[in-house]
Amino acid sequence: MTLSLTQFTGSNFAYQHLPFDRFLDDAAELGREHLELWGIAPHLHVPQIGDAEARAIRRRAETRGLAIRCLTPEQVMYPVNLASPVTWLRARSVALFRRAAELCAELGAGMLLLTPGRGFEDEPVEAARRRSVDAVGEITAYAATLGVTCVLEALQRVESNLVNDSRALAAMIDEVGAPNLGAVLDTVAMAVAGDSVDDYFDALGDRVRHVHLIDGRPAGHLAWGDGSLPLASYVESLGRRGYTGHLTFELFGDGTYAFEPRPAVERCLTGVRAALSPPARP
């Protein structure tokens, strides 16, 4: 099996300093059909946006032939932490994701992306892990009532002390035990952890339901060719493992992308097209 270019979404990662309609116009002009939305101000601030505004965003996308597939609230830089030992912060974090699930329904997005959070560095990891499992379980249960699937992403060790590789990700998903909870394969987190595409599919199988395809050295969220990761090999491996979900270029690792993001997206699409093209016959 070979991946299709239609599986690659448009996304507002790196567009945070430009109007939202500029992002939508670029996505449509670059031939994208599906979107992953980064839930960040000023485009889509989850605590602020109302249902009517979410439906208006959906219509603005649909008038350009675009369908929203995934909502990814900002949850690493903001004070959002599902595993926090601070009761009010954890409660507000869960409430934010419950609200994000409601917005998914209004946006027509069937998928909500979650990360596990982190505990204090000087407390037992298992205590923080239990808080994370409980929070993810509460969010996924609520999302299920709205027809929304959740996906959980492993993070780099500098971002989380709970879930950093495919095995830990599979273990947490198993422990939550929700049928509407799957996994995200992020190529940078994967490479930093020493994992491979095959490691992810061996551990998670068809629970891999979303992919962030990004370059790095190995860290970073870089455009195709700005890092050293074997992205073409990843594309081949994903096709070989029968992956049928969407893939997103999660670009914000180079501060210059935000000045003019479209060229970076175009380079990613060029790289994908080359990776998907059959080799020329001698």
Is 188 exposed, middle or buried, given 0-12, 13-18 or 19+ CB atoms closer than 10 A?
Answer: buried
Residue 155 maps to a domain: yes
Residue 282 maps to a domain: no
The residue assigned the tokens 């068809």 is 206
What pLDDT does residue 278 have? 65
What pLDDT does residue 272 have? 97
CA gap 230, 236 in Å, rounded: 10
Residue 211 maps to a domain: yes
CA gap 113, 212 in Å, rounded: 11
Residue 230 maps to a domain: yes
Domain coverage including residue 42? 5-276
CA gap 118, 19 in Å, rounded: 32
CA gap 89, 54 in Å, rounded: 25
Among 58, 2, 65, 21, which Cα is nearest to 277's? Answer: 2
What CATH number corresponds to the domain at position 254?
A: 3.20.20.150
Half-sphere exposure of 33 (CA within 13 A, CB side): 6
Contact 209, 111 (CB under 8 A): yes
Q: What is the pLDDT along the chain (282 residues), one digit of tens a residue?
A: 899 999 999 999 999 999 999 999 999 999 999 999 999 999 999 999 999 999 999 999 999 999 999 999 999 877 899 999 999 999 999 999 999 999 999 999 999 999 999 999 999 999 999 999 999 999 999 999 999 999 999 999 999 999 999 999 999 999 999 999 999 999 999 999 999 999 999 999 999 999 999 999 999 999 999 999 999 999 999 999 999 999 999 998 778 999 999 999 999 999 999 999 866 555
The dihedrals phi and psi of 186, each to the nearest 5 degrees, come to -105, 120
Residue 281 maps to a domain: no
* Amino acid letter, residue 124: P
Q: In total, how many domains does the chain have?
A: 1
CA gap 131, 234 in Å, rounded: 33
Total number of residues shown for the chain: 282
Which residues lie closer than 8 Å to 147 by C-beta, 6 or more apart? 105, 110
Residue 151 maps to a domain: yes
In the three-class reduction of DSSP (H, G, I as helix; E, B as strand; rest coil), residue 44 is classed as coil
> What pLDDT, in 10s, does the model give residues 83-115?
999 999 999 999 999 999 999 999 999 999 999
